[in-house]
Amino acid sequence: MSVSGTSAAGEKRLSGAAPARRPAPAFDAARAREDFPILRQRVHGRPLVYLDNAATTQKPRAVIDAISRYYEEDNANVHRGVHLLSERATRRHDEARKRVARFIGAPDPREVIFVRGTTEAVNLVAQTFGRTRVGAGDEVLVTELEHHSNIVPWQMLCHEKGARLRVVPVTDAGDLDLDALEALLGPRTRLLAVTQVSNALGTVNPLPEIIARAKARGVPVLVDGAQGAPHLGFDAAASGADFYAFSGHKLYGPTGVGVLWGRREHLEAMPPWQGGGDMILSVTFEKTIYNALPHKFEAGTPDIAGAIGLAAAIDYVDGLGLEAIAAHERELLALAVDALEAEEGVRLVGTPRERAGVVSFLVGDVHPHDVGTVLDRHGVAVRAGHHCAQPLMQRLGLAATARASFGLYNTPEDVDALVRGIRAVREMFA
Ligand code: PLP
C-alpha cells in the first residue's frame, strides 16, 4: 500500500484547527510506549522523541528482562557442557533459533544461522556461496538503493574473482527500474542482492516481482531484510528468495545478534566460513570434519544472551501483531509525509510508490547535520548523513539528508514535535 502523498492525514494539527487522523484503534502506541523504559527520559529538557529507528530501535522491558534473567539464572556455555546450566543455556539457544524460524517462515530451524547482524550475514554469503559460485567474467547484481553492507562485500568478491559488479538503477522517485533489472539479468549473473526496504528513502521494493524475474533466469537472490523485517516481516519459504538477512537490534532486540536464513541445499553445499570450536565434528592435524547445519557456520561461542533477547523481541512484536504495528506505522508515515510536504522550505527526498518506516528530507539549504543538531536540542532524535548509502546519494545529487524513521512506539505527537523542530531550524537559519 502506498502511503506517500495520497493521505488526508495532513491536517493542520499544529495550528490546532482540525483533529489529526489517528492510527487505527487496534494498536495503542501510547500504551506500547510504556514498555520502553528509555523513552521516559528527557533530553535537553524536553521529552525524548525518538525518530532514529532505522539506525536502531529501543528495547522493551520484556527484552531487557529476558537478557537479565538469562544471565541471572541460566548463564553457561552452550553445546559443550553436561551440567544443568549448560543444558538450560543450550535449550534456550535452540528455542531462540526455532522462534526465529517461525517468525520468518523458515521451513527448518537448521536453516537459521545466528550472526552478528545483517552485515555479517551478507559477508558470510559473499565469502562462501559467492566465492564458490562467482568466477572471472561473472556478474553480481546489486541495486542503487543498497546500504554499503550489501554493496561492499560483493565488490570485494568481484575484485578478488575478476568478476563485475553491476547495478540496477533507481528512478528519480526512488523506485527500482525494473526494466533495467530485466536487461541486466544476463547469462553471467551469478546472484542478485537486493534490499527489502531502502534505509535511506523507505522504498519498499516489489520483491515478488523482482524475485520472479531473477528466478526466471535461474539467478539466486539474497534479500537484505534489515529494514524490512521490523516493518513488513518476511515469509522465507513463500518468497522464492535464496537468502534473507536481518539484524536483531532493528527489531527491538539486542545489538550483536542477527540472522542469516538460507535454503538448505545452498547451506549444505557452501563451505564453512570461519573455523573454530562448535563448527567441527572432529579435528586432526590432517583433516577436519565439519559439523552439520547450523553449527557449520557458527564457529566459537555464540551470542547466547543475544539470541535469547532476539527471541524475546520477536515474542513482543508478535504479541502486538506485526500487521497492527505495520498499519500504525503506515498511518504515522502518511502523517509525516503530508506534514513535511506542507511545510515551507522542506523537500522530501524520494517519493517511492510504496514506503515503509522512513522519510528523508532537506530543510532549505541548511546542512542536514545542522538540521539534526537543532532537532536534537528540541528533543527530537533523527539521523543526518549519507545513511551508509553513498552511491544512492550520488545518484540523487546529494551529499546527505535528514532522516526520520518510525517505530511501533511513535505517535502523531512525535510527528508534531518533528515539525515544530523543523520550524525552529528554519527560524534559526532564515
Ligand atoms: N542493510 C540495511 C538496509 C540497513 O539499513 C542496515 C543498517 O542500517 C544494514 C544493512 C546493516 O545492518 P547492521 O549494521 O545491523 O549489520
Closest approach atom of ligand 1 to CA 146 = 3
Mean pLDDT of 361-386: 97
Asked if residue 371 lies in contact with residue 345, where contact means CB atoms within 8 angstroms, the answer is: no
Q: Is 427 exposed, middle or buried (0-12, 13-18, 19+ CB in 10 A)?
A: exposed
Decide if pLDDT at 202 tops 60.
yes
Q: Tell me what the mean pLDDT of segment 25-48 comes to.
A: 94
Task: Answer whether 121's CB lies under 8 Å from 310's CB.
Answer: no
Identity of the residue numbered 32: A
Q: 250 C-alpha to center of ligand 1: Å?
A: 8
CATH class of 64-318: alpha beta
Helix (H) or strand (E) holding 340: helix 322-342
- Which band of pLDDT confidence, cut at 50, 70 and 90, is reported for residue 1? very low
| Of residues 68, 87, 63, the one with CA closest to residue 77 | 87
Mean pLDDT of all residues in 68-88: 94
| pLDDT confidence of residue 289 | 97
How far is residue 163's CA from residue 185's CA, in Å, rounded to a whole number?
15
User: Is the sign of the CA dihedral 324, 326, 327, 329 positive or negative?
Assistant: positive
Q: Residue 280: which H helix or E strand, with range?
A: strand 280-283
Dist. CA 168–CA 401, nearest whole Å: 22
Measured distance CA(6)–CA(24) in Å, rounded: 17
Domains 29-61+321-428 and 64-318 share a fold: no
Ligand 1: which atom is nearest the Cα of residue 196?
3
Q: Which residue has a Cα nearest atom 5 of ligand 1?
A: 199
C-alpha cell at 274: 570461519
Task: Grade residue 81 by pLDDT with cuts at 50, 70 and 90.
Answer: confident
Q: Measuring CA to CA, which residue among 341, 390, 382, 322 is closest to residue 358? A: 382
Q: Which of 314, 388, 393, 417 is catalytic?
A: 388
Whose CA is closest to atom 4 on ligand 1?
Answer: 226
pLDDT-derived band at 26 (thresholds 50, 70, 90) equals: confident
Residue 43 is classified by DSSP as: E
pLDDT for the residue numbered 25 = 54
Q: Span 110-123, mean pLDDT?
A: 98
Ligand 1 midpoint to CA 388 (Å): 8
Whether the pLDDT of residue 146 is over 50: the answer is yes
As a whole number, mean pLDDT of residues 410-423 equals 98
What's this model's pTM, rounded to 2 decimal places?
0.94
Amino acid at 360: S
What does the pLDDT look like over 266-322, one tens digit per residue? 999 999 999 999 999 999 999 999 999 999 999 999 999 999 999 999 999 999 999
> If you take atom 14 of ligand 1, which residue's CA is the nearest one?
119
What's the mean pLDDT when you consider all of the chain? 94
User: Which residue has the least CA distance to atom 6 on ligand 1?
Assistant: 226
How far, in Å, is the centroid of ligand 1 from the Cα of 84? Answer: 37
pLDDT, position 164? 98
Q: Determine the angle formed by the axes of helices 304-320 and 84-103, rounding to 10 degrees.
A: 40
Choose which residue among 56, 227, 231, 387 to substitute to test ligand 1 binding: the one with the highest number of ligand atoms within 8 A of its C-beta: 227
Question: Which of the two residues, 79 and 415, has the higher pLDDT score?
Answer: 415
User: What is the domain partition of the chain in residue ranges?
Assistant: 29-61+321-428, 64-318
Q: In CATH, which superfamily holds the domain spanning 29-61+321-428?
A: Aspartate Aminotransferase, domain 1 (3.90.1150.10)
Terminal-residue alpha carbon distance, the chain: 37
Contacts of 262 (CB under 8 A, 6+ apart): 111, 113, 125, 129, 242, 243, 244, 270
Q: Looking at residue 430, what is its pLDDT?
A: 81
CB 89 within 8 A of CB 75: yes
Residues touching ligand 1 (Cβ under 6 Å) are 54, 117-119, 147, 149-150, 195, 199, 224, 226-227, 247
Q: Check if the beta carbon of residue 247 is closer than 8 Å to that of residue 122.
A: no
Percent over 70 (pLDDT), the chain: 94
Give tens-digit pLDDT for 328-369.
999 999 999 999 999 999 999 999 999 999 999 999 999 999
Which residue among 115, 147, 223, 390 is best mutated to probe the pocket of ligand 1, counting the most ligand atoms within 8 A of its Cβ? 147
Q: Is 163's pLDDT higher than 70?
A: yes
Is there a catalytic annotation at residue 388? yes
Choose which residue among 114, 115, 119 to substitute to test ligand 1 binding: the one with the highest number of ligand atoms within 8 A of its C-beta: 119
Buried b (16+ CB within 10 A) or exposed e, 307-334: bbbbbbbbebbeebebebbbbbbbbbbb
**Of all atoms in ligand 1, which is nearest to the CA of residue 249?**
15
What's the pLDDT score for residue 244? 98
Quick check: 2 pLDDT over 70? no
Who has greater pLDDT, 97 or 25?
97
